[in-house]
C-alpha cells in the first residue's frame, strides 16, 4: 500500500477516535449536567432524615426514592469526587424538589435539625401514640409500653399503684429529638401531664376514676356541653348499679388499644360478648383503666358533670351528634331512627 494511503488511513482512524471521544465526552457532560439539575418532581417540601451511621449510598438511595434526584449515579459521583461522601451529617432536613445536587449535598453536609415536631391528638391511645412516633422516625423501638411503671413512680408519685400509662400520655405538640428513647419520650409527656392535668385532679377523691371518665368522654362525645351531660349519666348509672354500656370500651378491647390502626373499630352485636373487664355491657362499674389519653376539655367536663333527667344516649351514625333519652323505650326509638 502506498505510504500516502497508509498515512491517510491512520489519520482517518485517529480522527474517528478523537471524534468518538468528543462525542462520548459531550454526552457524558450532558448527562452529568442533566443529573445535577433539580428533579422538579413535586412542589411540597420533603422531610428527610439522615440517621446516625447512614452511608452516602443509603442517603443516595433515600433521596432517589423520594424523587429528589434525576440520577443517583451522578449524585454518587459528585459526592465521591467532591470529597463529600463522608461529610453527611445526621439530622432532620426540609428539602425541596427545586434543589440541585450541589444544593442538596451542601444542605446535607451543613447539618439538619436534631429535633422533630410531632402532635399527639386528643383521644389517642398509647398504641396510637406509638404509631405516630414511629411514623415520624422518633421512637427507637416499637413500644412505649416496654418500660416498667416502677421506672416512673418515684419521679411521678401520682403513678403509684397505677398499672398502665394509658391516660398519662398527654395530648400535645412536642419537640423531640430524632430517634428518642422510650424513657425520654414518656418523661416529656408525663412532665406535660403533671404540669397541665394533675393540678385539676390532685387532692380529689377517686381522681383516677375521673381520669377514666374523661377518657370515655373523649372517645364517645364530641361536644363539651354534651360531655358534661354524659358525665352525669354515667355517674348516675354507677350510683344505680347499672352497666355503663359504652361502645368505646368495647372498641378499645376489639382493637387491642390501637384505634388508629384498627380496620373496623365499629362495635357489632357479636362484639358485646367479648370477655374482658373493659366490656361495660357485661361488667359493672368503671373499666380498670382509661381507654384513651384525654385532653383538658374532656377532663373539665368530667369534673363538671351535669345533672339531667336522661339515662341513655347514643351517637347519630350520620352526624355524630349525641342523642339523649330518658327511658329505655325512648332510647330504642332513637336507635331505630339514628343508627
The tens digit of pLDDT for each residue in 192-237 reads 999 999 999 999 999 999 999 999 999 999 999 999 999 999 999 9
pLDDT of residue 202: 95
Tell me the pTM: 0.76
70 and 134 inside one domain: no
Name the pLDDT band for 19 (thresholds 50, 70, 90).
Answer: low
pLDDT in tens, 31-48: 677 778 888 888 888 888
Name the pLDDT band for 138 (thresholds 50, 70, 90).
Answer: confident
Inside any domain, residue 57: yes
pLDDT of residue 117: 85
Inside any domain, residue 293: yes
Q: Which three cell numbers, joined as nine digits, stand for 65?
A: 426514592
Inside any domain, residue 18: no
- Farthest CA pair distance, the chain: 121
The residue count for the chain: 339
Residues of the chain above pLDDT 70, percent: 90
pLDDT of residue 94: 87
pLDDT in tens, 267-291: 998 999 999 999 999 999 999 999 9
Which of these three, 171, 200, 229, is where a domain ends? 200
Name the pLDDT band for 50 (thresholds 50, 70, 90).
Answer: confident
Mean pLDDT of the chain: 89
Inside any domain, residue 15: no
Q: Where would I find the H helices in 66-149?
A: 72-81, 101-110, 126-135
How many whole angstroms separate alpha carbon 91 and alpha carbon 117? 13
Q: Which three cell numbers, joined as nine digits, stand for 92?
A: 432532620
Three-point CA angle 207, 211, 214, nearest 5°: 135
Least confident residue range of 76-80, 145-149, 201-205, 320-324: 145-149
Residue 117's SS3 state is strand
Radius of gyration of the chain (CA): 31
Name the pLDDT band for 140 (thresholds 50, 70, 90).
Answer: low
226 and 303 inside one domain: yes
209 and 325 inside one domain: yes
Q: Which three cell numbers, joined as nine digits, stand for 49?
A: 432524615
How many domains does the chain fold into? 3
Q: Which residues pair with 176 in a beta bridge?
A: 116
Inside any domain, residue 255: yes
Inside any domain, residue 14: no
User: Hey, what's the torsion of the CAs at 253, 228, 129, 158, to 10 degrees?
Assistant: -90
Name the pLDDT band for 8 (thresholds 50, 70, 90).
Answer: low
How many whole angstroms separate alpha carbon 140 and alpha carbon 66? 22
| Exposure string for 157-192, b = 16+ CB within 10 A, e = fewer | ebbeebeebbbbbbbbebebebbbebeebbbbbbeb
Inside any domain, residue 37: yes
Which of these three, 149, 178, 200, is where a domain ends? 200
Tell me the CA distances in angstroms from 209 to 56, 145, 240, one per residue in order: 53, 21, 17
Q: Is the pLDDT of residue 28 over 70?
A: no
Name the pLDDT band for 142 (thresholds 50, 70, 90).
Answer: low
Looking up residue 45, the CATH number of its domain turns out to be 3.30.1490
162 and 103 inside one domain: no
Supply the range of the domain harboring residue 134.
115-200
Name the pLDDT band for 9 (thresholds 50, 70, 90).
Answer: low
Amino acid at each position: 500500500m502506498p505510504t500516502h494511503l497508509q498515512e491517510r488511513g491512520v489519520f482517518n482512524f485517529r480522527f474517528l477516535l478523537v471524534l468518538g471521544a468528543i462525542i462520548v465526552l459531550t454526552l457524558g457532560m450532558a448527562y452529568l449536567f442533566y443529573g445535577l439539575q433539580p428533579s422538579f418532581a413535586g412542589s411540597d417540601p420533603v422531610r428527610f432524615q439522615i440517621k446516625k451511621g447512614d452511608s452516602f449510598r443509603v442517603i443516595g438511595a433515600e433521596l432517589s426514592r423520594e424523587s429528589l434526584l434525576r440520577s443517583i449515579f451522578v449524585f454518587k459521583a459528585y459526592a465521591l469526587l467532591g470529597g463529600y461522601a463522608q461529610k453527611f451529617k445526621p439530622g432532620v432536613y426540609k428539602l425541596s424538589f427545586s434543589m440541585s445536587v450541589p444544593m442538596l449535598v451542601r444542605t446535607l453536609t451543613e447539618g439538619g435539625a436534631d429535633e422533630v415536631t410531632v402532635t399527639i391528638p386528643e383521644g389517642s391511645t398509647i398504641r396510637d401514640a406509638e404509631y405516630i412516633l414511629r411514623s415520624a422516625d422518633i421512637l427507637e423501638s416499637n413500644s412505649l409500653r416496654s418500660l416498667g411503671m416502677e421506672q416512673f413512680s418515684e419521679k411521678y408519685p401520682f403513678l403509684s399503684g397505677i398499672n398502665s400509662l394509658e391516660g398519662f400520655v398527654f395530648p400535645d405538640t412536642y419537640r423531640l429529638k430524632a430517634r428518642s428513647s422510650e424513657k425520654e419520650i414518656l418523661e416529656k409527656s408525663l412532665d406535660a401531664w403533671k404540669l397541665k392535668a394533675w393540678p385539676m385532679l390532685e387532692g380529689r377523691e377517686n381522681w383516677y376514676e375521673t381520669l377514666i371518665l374523661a377518657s370515655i368522654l373523649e372517645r364517645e362525645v364530641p361536644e363539651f356541653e354534651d360531655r358534661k351531660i354524659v358525665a352525669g349519666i354515667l355517674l348516675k348509672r354507677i350510683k344505680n348499679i347499672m352497666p355503663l354500656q359504652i361502645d368505646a370500651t368495647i372498641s378499645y378491647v376489639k382493637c387491642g388499644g390501637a384505634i388508629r390502626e384498627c380496620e373496623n373499630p365499629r362495635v357489632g352485636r357479636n362484639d358485646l360478648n367479648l370477655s374482658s373487664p373493659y366490656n361495660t355491657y357485661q361488667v359493672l362499674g368503671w373499666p380498670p383503666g382509661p381507654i384513651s389519653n384525654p385532653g383538658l376539655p374532656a377532663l373539665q367536663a368530667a369534673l363538671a358533670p351535669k345533672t339531667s333527667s336522661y339515662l341513655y344516649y347514643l351517637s347519630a351514625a350520620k352526624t355524630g351528634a349525641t342523642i339523649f333519652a330518658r327511658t329505655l323505650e325512648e332510647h330504642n326509638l332513637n336507635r331505630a331512627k339514628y343508627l
